[in-house]
Structure 1
Amino acid sequence: MPTTSDSPKLFTPISVGTTTIRNRVWLSPMCQYSCPGRDGMPNNWHFAHLTSFAAGGFGLVMTEATAVVPEGRISDRDTGIWSSAQAEAWAQVVAGIHERGATAGIQLAHAGRKASTYSPWGETASGTIPTDAGGWQTVAPSPLAFGRLDAPRQLDLTEIDALVDAFADAATRSIAAGFDVVEIHAAHGYLLHQFLSPAANERTDEYGGSPENRARLLIRVIEAVRASIGDAALMVRLSGTDWSDSEGERWDADACAAVAARAEAAGADAFDVSSGGILAHPDIPLAPGYQVQFATRVREAVSVPVSAVGLIDDAACAEQIVTSERADAVMLGRSALRNPQRVNEWAATLGAAASFVPGQYERAY
Structure 2
Amino acid sequence: MESSLFSPITFGKVTLKNRIAMSPMCMYSSHTEDGVVAPFHLAHYESRAAGQAGLIMIEATAILPEGRISPQDLGIWSDDHVSGLQQINEGIHRHGARSAIQLGHAGRKAILDEDIYAPSPIPFKEDMETPNEMTTSDIKRTIQAFKEAARRSKEAHFDIIELHGAHGYLISQFLSPLTNKRTDEYGGDRASRFRFLEEVIEEVKTTWDGPIFVRISANEHDVNGNQMEDFLYYAERMKVLGVELIDCSSGGVVPVRPEVYPGYQLQYADQIRNQADIATGAVGMITSGLQAEEAIRNKRADLIFVARAMLRNPYWPKAAADELGVELEGPEQYKRGWL
Q: Describe how 1:1-365 pairs up with structure 2 within 5 A.
A: 4=1, 6=2, 8-115=3-110, 117=111, 129=112, 135-147=113-125, 148-230=127-209, 232-244=210-222, 246=223, 248=224, 250-280=225-255, 282-353=256-327, 355-364=328-337, 365=339
Alpha-carbon distance, 1:352 to partner: 1.9
Indicate conservation of the 8 Å contact 1:261/1:302, yes or no: yes
Q: CA deviation at 1:164?
A: 0.8
CA deviation after TM superposition for structure 1 residue 38, in Å: 0.2
Aligned partners of 2:250 and 2:265 also within 8 Å:
yes
What is the CA deviation profile of residues 80-106 of structure 1, one whole-angstrom value per residue up to 9, with x for unaligned ones? Answer: 111111011100110110001100100
CA contact (8 A) 1:42 1:89 kept: yes
SS of 2:295's partner is: helix
User: 2:272·2:280 contact (CA, 8 Å) conserved in 1?
Assistant: yes
Please say if residues 6 and 17 of structure 2, whose CA atoms lie closer than 8 Å, have aligned partners that are also in contact.
yes
**Aligned partners of 2:12, 2:221: CA distance in 1, in Å?**
31
Distance 1:202 1:212, change over 3 A: same
Deviations 1:120-139 (A, max 9, x none): xxxxxxxxx4xxxxx11110
CA displacement at 1:362 relative to structure 2: 1.7
Q: Is the 8 A contact 2:235 2:278 kept in 1?
A: no
CA offsets per residue over residues 48-93 of structure 1, 9 Å max, x none?
A: 0111110011110001000001110000000011111101110011
Letter in 2 for 1:242: E
Counterpart-to-counterpart distance in 2, 1:287 and 1:190: 24
SS across alignment from 1:57: coil
Q: Retained in 2: the 8 A contact 1:29–1:65?
A: yes
Measured in 1, the distance between the counterparts of 2:189 and 2:32 equals 42
Worse overlay, 138-147 or 14-23: 14-23
Q: Which runs of 5+ in 1 are unaligned?
A: 118-128, 130-134
For residue 360 of structure 1, report the CA deviation from its aligned partner: 1.1
The letter for the 1-side match of 2:318 is N
Superposition deviation, residue 283 in structure 1:
4.2
Give the TM-score of the pair, scaled to structure 1.
0.90
**Counterparts of 1:19 and 1:303, CA distance in 2:** 20
1:235-284 residue CA offsets vs partner (Å, 9 max, x unmatched)? 1111101111x3x4x2122211210110111121111110011111x141
Structure ranking higher on relative contact order (CA contacts 8 Å, 6+ apart): 1
Distance in 2 (alpha carbons) for counterparts of 1:362 and 1:144: 54
- 8 Å Cα contact 2:272/2:278 also seen in 1: no
- Determine if contact 2:105/2:170 at 8 Å carries over to the other structure: yes
The number of aligned residues is: 337
Q: What is the SS of the residue equivalent to 1:106?
A: strand
Give the secondary-structure state (helix, strand or coil) at the position aligned to 1:11: coil
Tell me how far apart the structure 1 counterparts of residues 146 and 275 of structure 2 sit (CA, whole Å): 25
Amino acid of the residue matched to residue 39 of structure 1?
Answer: D
What is the CA-CA distance between 1:141 and the residue it aligns to? 0.3
TM-score relative to the length of structure 2: 0.97
Post-superposition CA distance 1:169-198 (Å, at most 9, x none): 000100110000011000000000000011
Q: Counterparts of 1:188 and 1:200 in 2: how far apart (Å)? A: 12
In 1: Cα distance, 2:46 partner to 2:26 partner: 15
